[in-house]
Amino acid sequence: MATVGIGLPTRNRVEYVKEALASIRGQTFSDFLVLVSDDASEPSMAELVRDHVRVLDDPRVSYCYHEQQLQEYDHGRFLFARCAERFFAILHDDDRWDATFLDRAVAILRADRSLACVTTGQYVIDGTGTQSEAMTRAYMRRMGRDRYLEGRLRILEPLLRDSLFGLSSTVFRTAALQRSSLVDPDCHGNAVFDINLFLRLGERGEVAYYLPEALAAYRIHDDRLSITEEREGFNPRLLETLIAILERRQFAGTAERERRRQLSAAYHNYAITCHLRHDFARMYQYMWKCIRTSPRCWRNWVYLILAAFPFLIRPAMRLRGVPVVRH
């Protein structure tokens, strides 16, 4: 048995998954097992990935092909169920780790048994794998990560207030995920898996360690799910899942205020998707939900008034901030 079990989910991204796997095999910490889990790729692409793993001839690396597409939730459940190691990580097929990523994270987890996970900073690469300083600065600012210093912190409030945690830049203690049962059992598809996972840890009072050093690469490219699954700039399925997981929870103090703020923003954005579909009854329903959740936000009332006049609301339509969701 190894120390770290790594899931590498992939679908129709042959070159990217090769880069991701190379970054895993290049780690200075070598006591791991990695499962390349192919989510029903096209047969020709699946064969290329299978052959690549075979040629590597690395006993730490195995390959599994799924005939039916699992999507992110069921794929995550599958990978976690296969993990018998003390620590667990998922690296998306279009991201990469720097050579010391596992070494640094595992050392922190070993030194403090109370930690549920260690998450590191990220830098942005483009479709060709080239690092972009400008994109990295904008990404860090948008995620709110530039406001946090190194150290221990409770997961819940930074998750709801900002987007401090990224799945591909985190190593988990397997026992902590077993306590939280990973994600809500009724959630499926590709929507907000990351948020759901960290939310379940956070609501149990689990503690993370934030290492601001950028040891993981986040790839921004034209084939991201956050782009390919959107319609006219909005993603109804994402919003429906986000609304469901936020509605069923209630916290106290700052965490509850942040939950209501995020839920109000999700209602607002979903109302806009209804407007785009010309479903005006549901648009008003979700605008009222938005107002009831956050009645002191004057913008909610303005949008409700504008909604009565389509020629006014369309130029005014703007997405409100919700937790940034992984692709």
pLDDT tens track for 188-198 = 998 899 999 99
Which one has a higher pLDDT value, 119 or 300? 119
Please give the model's pTM, rounded to 2 decimal places.
0.91
pLDDT at residue 221 greater than cutoff 90: no
Mean pLDDT across 214-230: 73
Question: CA 274, CA 288: separation in Å to the nearest integer?
Answer: 13
Strand pairing category for 32-39 and 115-125: unpaired
What pLDDT score was predicted for residue 324? 40
Structural domains in the chain, CATH included, are 4-222 (3.90.550.10), 228-316 (no CATH)
What pLDDT score was predicted for residue 301? 73
pLDDT digits (tens, 9 = 90+) for 54-68: 999 999 999 999 999
DSSP string, 133-170: HHHHHHHHHHHTGGG--SEEEESHHHHHHS----GGGE
Dihedral pair phi/psi, residue 138, rounded to 5°: -65, -40
What pLDDT score was predicted for residue 232? 40
What pLDDT score was predicted for residue 308? 60
Question: CA 235, CA 192: separation in Å to the nearest integer?
Answer: 11
**Rg, C-alpha atoms of the chain:** 20
Question: CA 187, CA 184: separation in Å to the nearest integer?
Answer: 6
As given in the structure block, the two tokens for residue 99 are: 């050579």
| pLDDT tier at 315, thresholds 50, 70, 90 | very low
**Do 273 and 320 contact (CB within 8 A), yes or no?**
no
Query: Which residues pair with residue 122 across a beta bridge?
Result: 216
Query: Which residues pair with residue 214 across a beta bridge?
Result: 121
- The CA–CA distances, whole Å, from 102 to 5, 6, 106, 136, 169 equal 11, 10, 6, 21, 10
Q: In the predicted model, what is the mean pLDDT of the chain?
A: 90
What pLDDT score was predicted for residue 228? 39
As given in the structure block, the two tokens for residue 114 are: 């109370």
Which one has a higher pLDDT value, 213 or 229? 213
Q: What percent of the chain has pLDDT over 90?
A: 74
pLDDT digits (tens, 9 = 90+) for 234-267: 678 889 999 999 999 999 999 999 999 999 989 9
Mean pLDDT across 175-183: 98
**Do 53 and 23 contact (CB within 8 A), yes or no?**
no
Q: Which of 61-70, 102-111, 156-165, 290-299 has the lowest mean pLDDT?
A: 290-299
What pLDDT score was predicted for residue 314? 52
Q: Which run of H or E residues covers position 10? A: strand 4-10
Residue with tokens 């190194």: 150
As given in the structure block, the two tokens for residue 223 are: 């084939």
What pLDDT score was predicted for residue 64? 98
pLDDT at residue 276 greater than cutoff 90: no
For the chain, helix, strand, coil in percent to 5 are: 50, 20, 35
231 contact partners, CB below 8 Å, separation of at least 6: 273, 276
pLDDT at residue 24 greater than cutoff 60: yes
Nearest CA-CA partner of 241 in 197, 299, 280, 272: 197
- In the chain, the N- to C-terminal Cα span, in Å, equals 31
What pLDDT score was predicted for residue 305? 66
What pLDDT score was predicted for residue 238? 87
pLDDT at residue 311 greater than cutoff 60: no
Question: CA 320, CA 265: separation in Å to the nearest integer?
Answer: 5
What pLDDT score was predicted for residue 318? 54
Strand pairing category for 115-125 and 207-219: parallel
